[in-house]
Amino acid sequence: MNIKAAYDIEHVSSTSKIDHELWLLDEINPKAARFPCCLVWTPLPVVSWLAPFIGHVGICREDGVSLDFSGSNLVNVDEFAVGAVARYLQLDRKQCCFPPNLSGHTCKQGYQHSEFGTAMTWDDALQLSNRQFEHRTYNIFTCNSHSFVANCLNRLCYGGSMSWNMTNVAALILFKGHWVNSTSIIRSFLPFTVVACLGLLIVGWPFLIGLFSLSFLLLGWYLLGTYCVKGLLEC
């Protein structure tokens, strides 16, 4: 009985500690641009007009403030680089690994996680990645906003994975994200629709073939660079 009681006390204490560390988040508030522990996405001018699945992505702190890598040696804080958030996905902090020491990993990637760099809290992970990318050169093809978010998720070992990259980050927000409102949908797809219609009217079907070929080439580049040519898209 004493052993059971001691276990219960230790379990309650441990649970209380976790609950204290993972305090309740504020509600998502698009009007105030606050998206606690969310991935956020918005279309890129010109680029998204031609390939609407490509956009600019960021990640938000626990207080909802966004961070996004938008240029060489530049990580924006609370100033999303290319406009208001159009799409978001709130992540579960309980799927992160916050080891207090080398033996405190809750993930199965303990050694790899420690070698990459760990953090004690969600905000700590974002801050460490922020410092790292303040010394990185931006390139939309090899080192972009998705690379920064992937770095944050690897530092968090989110979902028990250390394999986050720009491709699966893009897929995550694309397939699981939520639209902020109907205006965001229009803002994301209207320019592409206008470009496609004008091209069809002026040039004809060859324009659409070229437009979709461009999309497939971009998609192929990111898939090839991520999964076939090791190190090509690392930054």
The pLDDT score that the predictor gives to residue 22 is: 75
What is the separation of C-alpha 223 from the centre of its chain, rounded to a whole number of angstroms?
Answer: 17
Residue numbers of the chain with a pLDDT score lower than 50: 1-20
pLDDT at residue 111, as a whole number: 85
What secondary structure does DSSP assign to 10-66, as a single string? Answer: HHHHHHHHHHHHSPPPPPPBGGGTB-TTEEEEEEPTTHHHH-TT-EEEEEE-TTS-E
Domain residue spans of the chain: 25-228
Q: What is the reported pLDDT for 145?
A: 96
Q: Quick one: DSSP state of residue 143?
A: B
What is the per-residue pLDDT for 11? Answer: 38
Residue 12's pLDDT is 34
Specify the pLDDT at position 15.
35
Q: 98 and 126 in contact (C-beta within 8 Å)?
A: no
Tally Cβ neighbours within 10 Å of residue 52: 19
Q: What is the pLDDT of residue 1?
A: 40
Residue-level pLDDT at 14? 39
What distance in Å separates the CA atoms of residue 206 and residue 44, rounded to the nearest whole number?
24
